[in-house]
Chains A and B, each alone.
Chain A
Amino acid sequence: MKISKQEFLIRSGLEHETLASWLEEQWLIPSDSSAEMSFSDIDIARARFIRDLQEIMGVNDEGVGVILHLVDQLYGVRRTLMTLQNVIKSPSD
Chain B
Amino acid sequence: MSTDPYEVLGVKKGVSHDDLQKAYRRLAKKCHPDLNPGDKTAESKFKELSAAYALLDDPEKRAKYDSGEIDGSGTERPRQNYYRDYATSEQDHPYADNSGFADFMGSEDALSELLRRSARAQANRRGHDLEFRLPIKFIESIAGASKRLTLPDGNTLDVTIPPGIVAGQVLRLRGKGAPGLGKGGFGDALIEVEIMPDRLFSRERDDIYLEWPISLSEAVLGAKIKVPTPTGDVTMTVPKASNTGTTLRLKGKGAPKHGGGHGDQLVKLKVMLPKGPDPDLEAFVANWEKGKTYNPREGVAS
- Give the B-binding residues of A (Cβ under 8 A): 1, 29, 31, 40-42, 44-46, 48-49, 52, 56-58, 69, 71-80, 82-84, 86-88, 92-93
Would B25 and A48 count as touching, CB distance under 8 A?
no
Q: Is B70 in the interface zone, CB < 8 Å from A?
A: no
Would B118 and A83 count as touching, CB distance under 8 A?
yes
Would A42 and B83 count as touching, CB distance under 8 A?
yes
Would B121 and A75 count as touching, CB distance under 8 A?
no
Q: Is B101 in the interface zone, CB < 8 Å from A?
A: yes
Chain B residues in 8 Å Cβ range of A1: 152-154
> Can you report 26 residue pairs joining A to B where beta carbons are below 8 Å apart?
A1-B153, A1-B154, A29-B94, A45-B82, A45-B85, A46-B83, A46-B86, A48-B83, A52-B32, A56-B50, A57-B29, A57-B32, A58-B25, A69-B97, A75-B84, A75-B95, A76-B97, A76-B98, A76-B99, A79-B96, A80-B98, A83-B115, A84-B115, A87-B115, A87-B121, A93-B121
Residue of B with least CB distance to A42: B86
Would B117 and A87 count as touching, CB distance under 8 A?
yes
The distance in angstroms between the C-alpha atoms of A72 and B101, with both chains bound, is 12
Chain A residues in 8 Å Cβ range of B29: 57
Would A79 and B34 count as touching, CB distance under 8 A?
no
- Picked from B81, B101, B117, the residue with its CB within 8 Å of the CB of A80 is B101
Chain B residues in 8 Å Cβ range of A40: 93
Looking at the assembled complex, report how far the CB atom of B112 sits from the nearest CB atom of chain A, in whole angstroms. 11
Would A73 and B115 count as touching, CB distance under 8 A?
no
Within 8 A of A (CB), among B73-114: 80-88, 90, 93-101, 111, 114
Chain B residues in 8 Å Cβ range of A78: 37-38, 88
Would B96 and A76 count as touching, CB distance under 8 A?
yes
Chain A residues in 8 Å Cβ range of B24: 56
Q: Is B234 in the interface zone, CB < 8 Å from A?
A: no
The distance in angstroms between the C-alpha atoms of A89 and B152, with both chains bound, is 31
Looking at the assembled complex, report how far the CB atom of B139 sits from the nearest CB atom of chain A, in whole angstroms. 35
- Picked from B84, B101, B115, the residue with its CB within 8 Å of the CB of A76 is B101
Known contacts A46-B83, A83-B118, A87-B114, A29 near B95 by CB under 8 Å: yes
Would A57 and B25 count as touching, CB distance under 8 A?
yes
The distance in angstroms between the C-alpha atoms of A9 and B111, with both chains bound, is 43
Would A72 and B83 count as touching, CB distance under 8 A?
no
Chain A residues in 8 Å Cβ range of B114: 84, 87-88
Within 8 A of A (CB), among B185-216: none
Would B80 and A44 count as touching, CB distance under 8 A?
yes
Q: Is B122 in the interface zone, CB < 8 Å from A?
A: yes
The distance in angstroms between the C-alpha atoms of A42 and B29, with both chains bound, is 21
Chain B residues in 8 Å Cβ range of A73: 97, 99-100
The distance in angstroms between the C-alpha atoms of A6 and B275, with both chains bound, is 65
The distance in angstroms between the C-alpha atoms of A42 and B111, with both chains bound, is 29
Residue of A with least CB distance to B35: A71
Would A92 and B35 count as touching, CB distance under 8 A?
no
The list of the 8 closest CB pairs from A to B, nearest first, reads A73-B100, A42-B86, A72-B97, A75-B87, A29-B94, A49-B83, A76-B97, A45-B83
Within 8 A of A (CB), among B24-79: 24-25, 28-29, 32, 34-35, 37-38, 50
Per-residue CB contact flags for chain B residues 152-196 toward chain A (1 = under 8 Å, else 0) read 111000000000000000000000000000000000000000000
Looking at the assembled complex, report how far the CB atom of A85 sits from the nearest CB atom of chain B, in whole angstroms. 10
Residue of B with least CB distance to A1: B153
